[in-house]
C-alpha cells in the first residue's frame, strides 16, 4: 500500500529548537490519525448522533456544546450545532457510515483533508494563547473538550487531549504554514519537535 505523505514535508525536522539555555516549554509533533470525518445530524438530533458515534468508537460523548471524549484509538468533539469531528482508525469509515443512516445525518470523510498537530508541555496554553483568542485555561477548556476556531485565515479545530496537551486539526493545505507559525510562537519558550506519533 502506498504510504500517505505528510503535508509538512521538509518543514518537519525532529530537533530541539528555541531557547538558548536549552530548555523546552513545549513539544510539537504531527499526530494525524488514519481516519478523520465530520459527522452531522439533522436539527434536534445531536444526542442520537453522539450515541451513534459512541457505538462505533466506544466513546461516551455528551451532546452539549464544546463537548468531547477521548478513548483508546478514538477521539471526538463537537465543532458546531449537531456536528462532531471524529478521529480514529480506518475501520471507522464504513461503520460510521452504517451507523448514520440518512434519516439521522451524514458523515463526510476528511482523512486526507485535515492534519493534526500536537502541542504538549507546561507552556502549551501560553503558546496557543498567542494564536487563538480563546481561553485555554483548564477551568474554561476541560480535557477532551473541543473548540472550533481560527488563526486569521487558518481554520482550526482543537481538542484538549491532556492536562497540558492539545491536538490541533487544520486544513491540510495550510498545515505547513501553521506549523511554521506554531514553531515561531513556541520559540520564546523553547520547543522540541518529535518525530512521528508524539
Question: Which spans of this chain sit near other proteins (rule: CB under 8 A)?
Answer: 1-2, 4-7, 9-10, 18-20, 38, 40, 42-43, 102, 105-106, 108-114, 129-135, 137, 139-140, 152-154, 171-174, 176-178, 181, 184-190
What is the rounded distance in angstroms from the CA atom of residue 175 to the CA atom of residue 177?
A: 5
* Least CB distance to other proteins at residue 62 (A): 21
What is the rounded distance in angstroms from the CA atom of residue 131 to the CA atom of residue 61?
A: 28
CA distances to 79, 147, 158, 190 from 66, in Å = 7, 6, 10, 30
CB contact burial 110-129 (16+ within 10 A = b; e otherwise): bbeebbbbbbbbebbbbbbe
In terms of CB distance, is 49 or 120 closer to other proteins? Answer: 49
* Least CB distance to other proteins at residue 92 (A): 15
144 secondary structure, DSSP code: T
* Least CB distance to other proteins at residue 107 (A): 9
In terms of CB distance, is 70 or 147 closer to other proteins? Answer: 147
In terms of CB distance, is 166 or 178 closer to other proteins? Answer: 178
* Least CB distance to other proteins at residue 108 (A): 4
In terms of CB distance, is 72 or 139 closer to other proteins? Answer: 139
List the one residue out of 164, 67, 152, 84 whose CA is nearest residue 124: 164
Amino acid at each position: 500500500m502506498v504510504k500517505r505523505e505528510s503535508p509538512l514535508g521538509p518543514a518537519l525536522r525532529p530537533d530541539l529548537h528555541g531557547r538558548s539555555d536549552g530548555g523546552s516549554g513545549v513539544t510539537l509533533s504531527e499526530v494525524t490519525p488514519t481516519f478523520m470525518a465530520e459527522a452531522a445530524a439533522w436539527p434536534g438530533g445531536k444526542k442520537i448522533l453522539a450515541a451513534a458515534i459512541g457505538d462505533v468508537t466506544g466513546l461516551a460523548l455528551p451532546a452539549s456544546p464544546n463537548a468531547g471524549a477521548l478513548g483508546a484509538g478514538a477521539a471526538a468533539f463537537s465543532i458546531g450545532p449537531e456536528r462532531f469531528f471524529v478521529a480514529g482508525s480506518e475501520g471507522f469509515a464504513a461503520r460510521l457510515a452504517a451507523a448514520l443512516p440518512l434519516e439521522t445525518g451524514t458523515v463526510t470523510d476528511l482523512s486526507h483533508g485535515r492534519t493534526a498537530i500536537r502541542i504538549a508541555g507546561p507552556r502549551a496554553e501560553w503558546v496557543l494563547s498567542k494564536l487563538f483568542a480563546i481561553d485555554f485555561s483548564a477551568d474554561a477548556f476541560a480535557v477532551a473538550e473541543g473548540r472550533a476556531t481560527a488563526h486569521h485565515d487558518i481554520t482550526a479545530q482543537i481538542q484538549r487531549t491532556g492536562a497540558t496537551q492539545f491536538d490541533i486539526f487544520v486544513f491540510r493545505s495550510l498545515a505547513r504554514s501553521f506549523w511554521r507559525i506554531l514553531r515561531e510562537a513556541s520559540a520564546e519558550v523553547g520547543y522540541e519537535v518529535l518525530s512521528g506519533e508524539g
